[in-house]
């Protein structure tokens, strides 16, 4: 899709399921189950959505998904279905892995950093061989010192090889990654969680990462149980939603199963509403019926 001078695309990396209660925190199941119906194991179906921002001179990938380094037992736990091969992750949009200049990872949890590395024979290598991976230094430090509640979400094989190959750029707070694309610190989900803001020719957009993983999380109090600092998430959502709705930004959700991009509007009862763009704005690989096809 054209976005000012940029070309932006979504690639659906996988479908997976996580516990619905963990995804909606203190929101009662009687409410969230209406918008995200749970299966018989109380899990809800989601996707990992990658965003490619091609500025014309640089190709920036936002997130890397779950990747394919999972054993059968783990795949069953998350009902993980890998939709794209890591060696050719962006093939459906005609982009080769070695064409990526920058990869921004919102935080180092396995559903965001899992695809950052891949197996080549018995070696682990960066999935994007020529890219710099942009990571908050605080997130890196935390991943290496996570307390027992947080530890299960981090897998060193997702990010240590990036460091060994000298491909990480450590950031301390808000950073312009390439002209027109910024990493912006929000905290909340993890202390150093970041989102990606981008702008071209007056068009403004934001990839909310795990600050708002699906369209059902648009209401500020609908915060994930996974969040380390849920009240902070609520405050950050309030702030970003006010700006995004007032200035008609394009918003992108990282785990939304249906069309994951659109706009935010404030409706007549004072609530934020997500207005998705038409399916046709997505490349064929990312269309909802395509994503759901392997499940039927």
Residues binding Zn ion (CB under 5 A): 111, 210
Name the residue nearer to Zn ion (CB basis): 210 or 227: 210
* Least distance (Å) between residue 17 CB and Zn ion: 13
Q: What is the smallest separation between the CB atom of 273 and Zn ion, expressed in angstroms?
A: 23
**Which residue spans within 55-174 are E strands per DSSP?**
59-62, 81-82, 102-104, 117-120, 123-126, 132-136, 168-171
Nearest partner of 228 among 139, 291, 113, judged by Cα? 139
Instruction: Indicate the residue among 210 and 256 with the shorter CB distance to Zn ion.
Output: 210
Rg (CA), the chain: 18
**The pair of three-digit structure tokens given for residue 78, joined into one six-digit string:** 């998350």
101 and 129 Cβ atoms separated by less than 8 Å: no
DSSP bridge partners of 213: none
Residue 88 CA to chain centroid, in angstroms? 19
Q: Cβ 14 to Zn ion, closest distance in Å?
A: 11
Contacts 24+ apart (CB under 8 A), 276-280: 276/215, 277/1
- Residue 62 or 178: the one with the smaller Cβ distance to Zn ion is 62
Minimum Å gap between C-beta 123 and Zn ion is: 27
Closest to 214 in 3D by CA, of 130, 111, 144, 127: 111
Q: Compute the least distance from the CB of residue 53 to Zn ion, in Å.
A: 19
Q: Residue 4 CB, nearest distance to Zn ion (Å)?
A: 28
The single-letter DSSP state of residue 160 is H
Nearest residue (CB) to Zn ion, 18 versus 89: 18
d(CA 33, CA 148): 29
Q: What is the DSSP letter of 238?
A: H
Nearer CB in complex with Zn ion: 77/96: 77
* Residues 6+ positions from 147 with CB-CB distance below 8 Å: none
Closer to Zn ion by CB, 55 or 190: give it. 190
Cα–Cα distance for residue pair 113/194, rounded to 1 Å: 13
Q: Least distance (Å) from Zn ion to the CB of residue 65?
A: 10
**Shortest-Cβ-distance residue relative to Zn ion:** 111
C-beta of 108 vs 178, nearer to Zn ion: 108
């Amino acid at each position: 899709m054209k976005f000012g001078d940029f070309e932006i695309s979504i690639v659906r990396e996988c479908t997976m399921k996580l516990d619905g209660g963990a995804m909606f925190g203190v929101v009662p199941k009687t409410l969230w189950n209406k918008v995200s119906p749970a299966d018989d194991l109380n899990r809800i179906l989601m996707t990992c959505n990658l965003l490619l921002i091609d500025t014309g001179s640089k190709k920036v990938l936002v997130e890397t998904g779950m990747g394919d380094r999972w054993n059968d037992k783990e795949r069953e736990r998350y009902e993980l279905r890998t939709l794209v091969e890591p060696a050719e992750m962006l093939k459906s949009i005609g982009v080769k892995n070695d064409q990526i200049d920058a990869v921004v990872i919102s935080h180092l949890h396995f559903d965001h950093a899992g695809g950052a590395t891949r197996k080549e024979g018995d070696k682990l290598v960066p999935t994007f061989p020529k890219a710099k991976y942009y990571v908050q230094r605080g997130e890196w430090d935390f991943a290496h010192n996570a307390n027992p509640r947080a530890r299960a979400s981090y897998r060193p094989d997702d990010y240590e090889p990036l460091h060994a190959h000298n491909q990480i750029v450590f950031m301390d707070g808000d950073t312009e990654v390439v002209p027109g694309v910024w990493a912006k610190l929000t905290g909340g989900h993890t202390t150093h969680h970041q989102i990606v803001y981008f702008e071209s020719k007056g068009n403004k957009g934001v990839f909310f990462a795990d600050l708002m993983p699906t369209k059902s999380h648009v209401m500020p109090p609908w915060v994930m149980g996974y969040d380390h600092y849920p009240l902070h998430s609520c405050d950050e959502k309030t702030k970003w939603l006010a700006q995004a709705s007032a200035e008609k930004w394009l918003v992108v959700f990282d785990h939304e199963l249906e069309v994951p991009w659109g706009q935010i509007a404030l409706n007549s009862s004072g609530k934020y509403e997500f207005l998705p763009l038409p399916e046709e704005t997505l490349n064929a690989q990312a269309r909802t019926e395509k994503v759901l096809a392997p499940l039927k």
